[in-house]
């Protein structure tokens, strides 16, 4: 199937969320309610189900993690230098929207089995990214980054699902039925939430924003692809998962972290908006490269 046609439904659902938020056709409070429901219940349940049923693939090793996190850390250092020690910009250049974009794209382009390669990256993504940010800001609040990661419902759900998988616990049929019903609502709700979150963002400092977008959508996935294929020779599904996660737009949490740290988050917000629009073109290209 044509890759654009394959991904078009995802973009249309996200666009619908943006349109609903812009026109206020539904009461504005729906955005916050749906965002909380999706982030705190639907996505954790969806990832719990995947971790519980699939566990971790045998090919997950230090090479698998290194293929993603070595370019991740190196690019942060390069961006920190390029953006004159602006830690918020450096974080935006590496921090992906791992859940609201990569999960729907990978499920649509491949199938749910590929998510077993996503779980290890999601588990460490926020911890490593935010630790780098706070180190660049002088080493403050690293403990907060660790604590927030351990309290994150997404991370907790992954750990719980993997624990049940490893111990061989069998959940009752009623429980798995509820999990499946909630999981079915996850992807459309995640895309609507993503679209709504972009509705009120504005582009500022176009030059610097485009620099962040170039690093995020092209440099990071290129580095991950090179290590996964040329250095570690990872299996094709593992490579696909790593590259698509790296190729996702800037995660919406970057602006929240920068703002909570008392810094100007306008550049991060601009990068979130521009990268979310630009990925409509770049993600199909990366999928084509992976399939070729």
pLDDT at residue 140, as a whole number: 61
Query: Residue for token digits 């654009």?
Result: 4
User: pLDDT tens across 90-141, in order?
Assistant: 999 999 988 888 888 998 888 888 888 988 888 788 878 888 888 887 766 6
How confident is the model at residue 239, as a pLDDT? 95
Give pLDDT tens digits for 249-287.
Answer: 998 878 777 777 677 678 888 888 899 889 888 999 999
The crossing angle, in degrees rounded to 10, of helices 142-151 and 119-136 is 160
pLDDT digits (tens, 9 = 90+) for 78-87: 998 888 878 8
- Per-residue HEC secondary structure of the chain comes to CCHHHHHHHHHHHHHHHHHHHHHCCCCCHHHHHHHHHHHHHHHHHHHHHHHHHHCCCCCCCHHHHHHHHHHHHHHHHHHHHHCCCCHHHHHHCCCECHHHHHHHHHHHHCCHHHHHHCHHHHHHHHHHHHHHHHHHCCCCCHHHHHHHHHHCHHHHHHHHHHHHHHHCCCCCHHHHHHHHHHHHCHHHHHHHHHHHHHCCCCCCCHHHHHHHHHHHHHHHHHHHHHHHHHHCCCCHHHHHHHHHHHCCCECCHHHHHHHHCCCCCHHHHHHHHHHHHHHHHHHHHHHHHHHC
Quote the crossing angle between the two packed helices 186-198 and 3-23, to the nearest 10°: 60
- Residue 245, class by beta-carbon neighbours within 10 Å (0-12 exposed, 13-18 middle, 19+ buried)? buried
Whether the predicted pLDDT of 1 surpasses 60: no
Q: Is the dihedral of CA 225, 221, 62, 152 positive or negative?
A: negative
Looking at domain 3-22+29-291, which CATH architecture does it have? Up-down Bundle (1.20)
pLDDT for the residue numbered 231: 94
**What is the pLDDT, as a whole number, of residue 207?**
85
Instruction: Please compute the mean of the pLDDT values over residues 36-63 and round it to a whole number.
Output: 83
Convert the pLDDT of each residue in 143-202 to its tens digit. Answer: 766 776 677 788 888 889 889 988 988 999 999 999 999 999 988 998 898 888 887 777
pLDDT tens profile 212-230:
999 999 999 999 999 999 9
- Cα angle, residue 88 at apex, residues 85 and 94 outer, rounded to 5°: 100
Give pLDDT, residue 291. 86
Global confidence as pTM: 0.85
Calculate mean pLDDT across residues 240-253: 91
Which residues make Cβ contacts (< 8 Å) with residue 206, sequence separation at least 6?
A: 270
Output the pLDDT for position 77: 92
In this predicted structure, what is the pLDDT of residue 123? 79
């Amino acid at each position: 199937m044509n890759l654009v046609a394959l991904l078009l439904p995802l973009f249309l659902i996200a666009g619908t969320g943006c349109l609903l938020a812009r026109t206020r056709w539904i009461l504005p409070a729906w955005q916050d309610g749906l965002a909380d429901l999706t982030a705190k219940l639907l996505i954790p349940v969806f990832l719990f189900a995947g971790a519980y049923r699939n566990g971790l693939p045998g090919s997950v090793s230090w090479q698998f993690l290194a293929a993603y996190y070595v370019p991740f850390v190196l690019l942060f250092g390069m961006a920190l230098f390029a953006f004159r020690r602006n830690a918020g910009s450096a974080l935006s250049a590496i921090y992906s929207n791992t859940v609201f974009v990569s999960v729907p794209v990978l499920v649509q382009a491949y199938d749910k089995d590929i998510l077993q390669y996503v779980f290890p990256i999601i588990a460490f993504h926020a911890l490593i990214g935010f630790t780098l940010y706070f180190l660049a800001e002088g080493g403050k609040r690293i403990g907060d980054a660790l604590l927030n990661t351990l309290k994150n419902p997404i991370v907790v759900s992954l750990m719980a699902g993997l624990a049940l998988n490893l111990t061989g616990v069998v959940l009752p049929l009623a429980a798995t039925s509820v999990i499946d019903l909630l999981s079915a609502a996850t992807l459309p709700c995640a895309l609507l939430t993503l679209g709504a979150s972009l509705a009120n963002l504005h582009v500022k400092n176009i030059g610097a924003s485009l620099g962040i977008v170039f690093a995020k959508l092209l440099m990071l996935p290129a580095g991950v692809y090179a290590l996964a294929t040329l250095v570690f020779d990872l299996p094709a599904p593992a490579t696909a998962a790593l590259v698509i996660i790296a190729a996702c737009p800037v995660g919406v949490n970057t602006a929240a972290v920068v703002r909570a740290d008392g810094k100007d988050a306008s550049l991060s917000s601009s990068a979130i908006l521009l990268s979310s629009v630009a990925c409509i073109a770049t993600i199909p290209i990366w999928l084509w490269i992976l399939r070729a």
